[in-house]
Amino acid sequence: MKQSACSHAMRQFYRTTTLHGFKYLCSKYYADRIGWLICCCASACCAGVLCAVLWERFLEVPALLTLHDLRGQEDAVKMPLVAVCPPAETIAYLFQKKLLINTNVTGRLQTILNHVLRRKDTNKEHLVILEEILFKNNLTLPEALMQVMPPCHSIVKNCRWQSIMIPCGKLFERELTEWGVCCLSRPKKLKIGESRTSRLEAKRNLQIAVQCSDQPTLNGCEVYTKFNGEEWVEPMILSPGYNYLAQVTFTSVVDSDPDKFVEGTCSTADGYSKSRCLLKCKEKSCGCSDPLRSKSRNEDSVPPPCLMTQMSCLRRFNFENITCKCLPSCKKVSTFLVLESSPMNAFIYTHNEIYAGLNETASSVLLISIRISGSRIFVVNPTETWITLLSSLGGVFNMFLGVGLFSALEILFLLFVRLPIAIRRSTEIQIPPSIDNLYC
């Protein structure tokens, strides 16, 4: 009885359903039922294959790269952060000149500072020597670097932004960086003297004349540029007595996939970088912070600075022993730099203001040129989202099986209403007693 009730409900569903070909499955002709069963199975297989292809394409996250035209876009084309840093040998000379240091360690001070400022693995004995020097002068490493660092106007002598000479004191300020205390010029400061016509030019040019020391035996300055979104940069060394031309092009890729923002597969925080996140992870494990770091505005609590003898924990940290969830940034910036040099010959005969008052044997002139024509900004726009996936799946099912919104309601009505009612009614029917039971 129960089986016949369910069969009756299924036959009634086949007669009234809007699914393609299903109503012919209850035909009174055997050949029709077999033929339409084969057609329905073939359509279901085709729909399954196409749905698998759509799902695989959705998992690959296909996207459309949109290239932005940078010409005339003031906010899109900015100069990077420009930093001028004295090299380790100059810092060692300034330490000996301005701090109390024992004469027996002066020969090793340059090597010690070169390892510490360049984030190299340093011998513990050398770290103890540096710690003793700082303790003797009652200073921390950032305080000592800031105290011996000359003012920026004595390091960056002359500055020219585009074609306008600008006082370097308005552009550069002393700040603590991962490479020590440097003279930094941030992009917002380079809007000084920018005209409307200069925004339409094919290049952004910043020319500076630098001199980090008046000692002929010491090297020149170290300079690096960094765009917002770059993970890691290394300084380039400028030798005294040379002109340098640094032609920079950049490529910026911005991922605008809203699913990644919601799922947390990349970070959109301003100023976020994966390298800084890994540094915080190391600091949390070691219990102290790297002295050569600047505190961000959105950082609430930072561990106390590490002593010099604790620096080995940060330099020899093993990420296999701890789990750090550091997401990549949704904005990735990479730069390509070509550096050309030429001797500063007979610059005293030129009328170029960038060379005014320079010492030929101790100074360097650097022209940083951002080539707009060679730079690119890409925006990644995903072409497959949950909405497009559902619409594609709906189209496939509708084409091969005729499954739409109303068909889905029919199936749900069959499963949760008709079949339970048919089963319930079949169990309520009284089974007549058999003849043997009548005589018991």
Tell me how many helices (H) and strands (E) the chain has.
14, 13
Q: How many domains does the chain have?
A: 3
Lowest mean pLDDT among 81-90, 107-116, 182-191: 182-191
Which among 51, 64, 45 has a CA at the least distance from the CA of 392? 51
| 288 and 378 assigned to the same domain | yes
Q: How confident is the model at residue 33 (pLDDT cuts 50, 70, 90)?
A: confident
| 405 and 304 assigned to the same domain | no
Predicted local distance difference test score (pLDDT) of residue 428 = 57
**Better-predicted residue by pLDDT, 430 or 14:** 14
* pLDDT > 90? residue 159: yes
SS3 assignment, position 136: helix
| 56 and 73 assigned to the same domain | no
| 252 and 186 assigned to the same domain | yes
| 319 and 375 assigned to the same domain | yes
Range of the domain at 293: 67-84+154-382
* Of the ranges 11-20, 132-141, 189-198, 286-295, the best mean pLDDT one: 132-141
| 319 and 209 assigned to the same domain | yes
Q: What is the DSSP string of 267-302?
A: B--TT--HHHHHHHHHHHHHTSB-SS-PPPTT----
Instruction: Quickly tell me which residue has 């200073």 as its tokens.
Output: 139
* pLDDT > 80? residue 184: yes
Non-local CB neighbours of 141 within 8 Å, separated by 6+ positions = 116, 130, 134, 291, 292, 305, 308
| 47 and 191 assigned to the same domain | no
Query: CA separation (Å) from 289 to 146, 315, 324, 328?
Result: 18, 12, 16, 22
Lowest mean pLDDT among 285-299, 362-376, 382-396: 382-396
| 183 and 331 assigned to the same domain | yes
**Measured in Å, how far apart are the chain's first and last C-alpha atoms?**
26
Please identify, among 148, 175, 193, the residue that sits at the C-terminal boundary of a domain. Answer: 148
| 120 and 190 assigned to the same domain | no
| 408 and 334 assigned to the same domain | no
**The model's pTM:** 0.69
Query: Can you list the positions of beta strands (E) in 178-241?
Result: 180-185, 203-210, 221-226, 236-238
| 209 and 278 assigned to the same domain | yes
Instruction: Quickly tell me which residue has 């109503």 as its tokens.
Output: 23
SS3 assignment, position 424: helix
Lowest mean pLDDT among 11-20, 96-105, 269-278, 297-306: 11-20
Q: How confident is the model at residue 17 (pLDDT cuts 50, 70, 90)?
A: confident
